[in-house]
Amino acid sequence: MSSFLPKLALAVAVTIVGAARAAPPDASLRSSSDRTLYQSGEIWTDDTGQAMRLATLRGHPVVLAMFYTQCRYACPMIVAAMRRIEAALPAAERENARFVLVSFDSEHDTPAALHAYRQAVGLAPGAWILAHGDPAAVRELAMVLGVKYQRLGEGQYAHSNLITVLNDRGEIAYQRIGLEGDVRAAVDAVTQAAR
């Protein structure tokens, strides 16, 4: 496990409490570099087969969710909510934002499977990034984000339904829990995260 996890755990807990109230995090939290997901040295592979680190997203507000491509209920709703967030953003913020889907099914969701998923659901290259990681990296990211998941067998998972907004420094700015409801608070968080 990377060394950034112990430093980040308290910050995530504090930020999630703030996010649950739909309030922006305290300015002192926003400026602290030890609270960024971008400290992780984990290498991911995108759906084109290119290696990447989350730190390559620095400078962009990020809307991130963990999912798996064989999901037939919750994950399509998570992706639909992310698309509603994208559509509701003003043009400049939409162009600058990145939408990241990280699979927790490392075995099935290879880069090729993620690419096929992108094609099937029509996610635009550039703005949307689909990432595959090894099981240890996936577990670590899930822990940091507060995503719980468990394999049920036959390719199915029980999992949290959580969308996270990261500011341009990779700090958690907001988390949306659940599948239903308005996306306005997430849109506002993306807009503020770009400032």
DSSP secondary structure string for all residues of 63-108: EEEEE-TT-SSHHHHHHHHHHHHHHHS-HHHHHH-EEEEEES-TTT
DSSP three-state, residue 28: helix
- CA trace torsion 12, 82, 104, 194 (10° rounding): -40
Dihedral sign for Cα atoms in the order 139, 143, 145, 147:
positive
Q: Mention the CATH class of domain 4-193.
A: alpha beta
pLDDT (0 to 100) of residue 136: 95
pLDDT (0 to 100) of residue 34: 60
C-alpha to C-alpha distance for 176 and 26, rounded to whole angstroms? 18
Per-residue pLDDT tens over the stretch 15-52:
333 333 333 333 333 334 567 899 988 999 999 999 99
Strand partners, 149: 159
pLDDT (0 to 100) of residue 15: 35
pLDDT (0 to 100) of residue 174: 96
pTM for this prediction: 0.82
C-alpha to C-alpha distance for 16 and 26, rounded to whole angstroms? 12
pLDDT (0 to 100) of residue 26: 37
Helices (H), the chain: 4-20, 27-30, 74-88, 91-96, 111-121, 135-145, 184-193
Cβ atoms of 149 and 66 closer than 8 Å: yes
Q: Domain spans of the chain? A: 4-193
One digit per residue, the tens of pLDDT, for the chain of length 195 reads 444 443 333 333 333 333 333 333 333 333 345 678 999 889 999 999 999 999 999 999 999 999 999 999 999 999 999 999 999 999 999 999 999 999 999 999 999 999 999 999 999 999 999 999 999 999 999 999 999 999 998 889 999 999 999 999 999 999 999 988 899 999 999 999 876
| ∠ Cα 1 5 142 (to 5°) | 80
Q: Which pair of structure tokens corresponds to residue 76?
A: 């399509």
pLDDT (0 to 100) of residue 181: 86
C-alpha to C-alpha distance for 167 and 176, rounded to whole angstroms? 14
